[in-house]
A = this chain, B = another copy of it.
Amino acid sequence: MVSTYRLRTDGNRAFDITDEISAAVAASGVREGIAVVSLPHTTASVGIISFPDPLGLIDVMDEVARLVPTRIDFKHQHDTPQDAAGHIKSTIIGTTMSLIVSAGTLLMGHSQKVYFMEHDGPRQRQFHVQVVGR
């Protein structure tokens, strides 16, 4: 029932995954319900961002990096500073999201798309979509 999708991130930016989520909704056959997107990672997050201006996507990623800077004084020292900062961004923004399914499709605003936000790329990644309803 769960749909799983893979992607290769080429760096720390936002990747549009709306089409994959829409495909999972269509495959589920659910007309009225809820879709949950979940990333099994701890240095990435899922967010809805305004898509018409691609520069706005860069602003979001830049601002998240400004709020939680990559630096060398984290207690977590097993991995790189980018990884340590990524864990924090991932928790604050979140790795799961609920979306409304109505009339068999995602109910979203005309400027909204769902993005896989990479905070420790490049990496091989994946995400899951589960749909419930009827």
Contacts and interface: CB of A to CB of B under 8 A. Distances in A.
Contact of A53 (B49, B78, B102, B110): B78
Given A34-B34, A43-B50, A64-B92, 9 more contacts: A33-B132, A34-B98, A40-B112, A50-B87, A55-B77, A60-B88, A62-B75, A67-B68, A94-B94
Contact of A102 (B1, B39, B92, B93): B1
Interface in A36-87: 36, 38-43, 47-50, 52-53, 55-56, 58-60, 62-64, 67-68, 74-78, 84, 87
Nearest to A49: B91
Interface residues of A, number: 59
Contacts of A47: 91-92, 94
B100 A38 contact: yes
Interface of A: 1-2, 32-34, 36, 38-43, 47-50, 52-53, 55-56, 58-60, 62-64, 67-68, 74-78, 84, 87-88, 90-102, 107-112, 128, 130, 132-133
